[in-house]
Structure formats: C-alpha cells, structure tokens
Amino acid sequence: MPLHAQNLLDFIGDIEAPQGYDTILGNRQANLPVRLTQMTYGEIVDAQGNWGNKTWVRANWGHKTASSAAGRYQFMRKTLQDIAKAAGSIDGRTIFSSSLQGRLGSFLLLRCGCGFHRGPDQPRAVRAQPCKRVGKFSGVVRYQR
C-alpha cells in the first residue's frame, strides 16, 4: 500500500479508535470476553447485532447509547457485511486481525474513490469531501487534482 494511503488510514484510525484495533464504540471493549483481534469476522458481525441494540446494551452494559462500530476504523455491521459480499475472500472464520482490518480499510478507501496510484498525475492537494458510498468514512479525504 502506498505511504499516502497508509497515512490516511492511520489518520482515520487515530481519530476513530485511538486505543487501537480492539476498540468498540465508547471504549467498551472491557465488556467483551475476548479481544476483537482474537474473534472471527462472523463472531464480530453477530456481536454487532447486540452492540447496536439499545435495549441489549442497556440491559447488559448499563449504557444508554448503542452502536455496532468496531475495530480501528470503527466498522459498522452493515459495512462489514457489504465488504464481505464485495470482496468474496472473507468468511465467518476469518480472524478480525489488525491485518484484516487494514485490508478492509483499504478496500473502503478504494470503494470510496480514493485511488492509490502514483505518477505524473499525482494529486497535488487534498480537500475534505463527503464520501456517500462508505458508511463510517463519511468524512474521508479525497484527492483533488
């Protein structure tokens, strides 16, 4: 992955989950029996069904807010499901490792239209622009030529 693409993912990850790859929304990962990076993709998606349910969160964790956001890039449940369908190489047994999360983040950047090419037409400036096709990366930076 080009350095500028990794820098963009690092920027997003540092803002979304400064505590790292095992983060769930509200830094509630201490409520989990095992770290996210030790869980499978299938376990994460299944658990996100609960984490995104206010009634479940209130009853089990005592919080009023709920979200399915998980991992360094705070992937929402629907986004993870969409990626698995589009990528085709992810199944329920795939470990939700830091490496997988990086690949998923890269996939979302590419799907959003953030090309990672280098050459004479390299972008000179960047500007913030909404990315309508990507759930959590709604404020991702796009390159301007």
Consecutive sets of 10 residues in the chain, 145 residues long: mean pLDDT of each? Answer: 86 95 94 96 97 97 96 96 87 95 91 62 41 44 38
- Domain coordinates in residue numbering, the chain: 3-144
State the pLDDT at residue 3. 85
For the chain, the straight-line distance linking the first and the last C-alpha, in angstroms and rounded, comes to: 20
State the pLDDT at residue 116. 61
Q: Is-contact 86 25, C-beta < 8 A?
A: no
State the pLDDT at residue 52. 96
Give dist(CA 128, CA 94) in Å, integer: 33
What is the pTM (predicted TM-score) of this model? 0.78
Give dist(CA 73, CA 136) in Å, integer: 8
State the pLDDT at residue 114. 74
Give dist(CA 30, CA 14) in Å, integer: 19
State the pLDDT at residue 104. 93
Please count the other Cβ atoms lying within 10 Å of the Cβ belonging to residue 65: 10
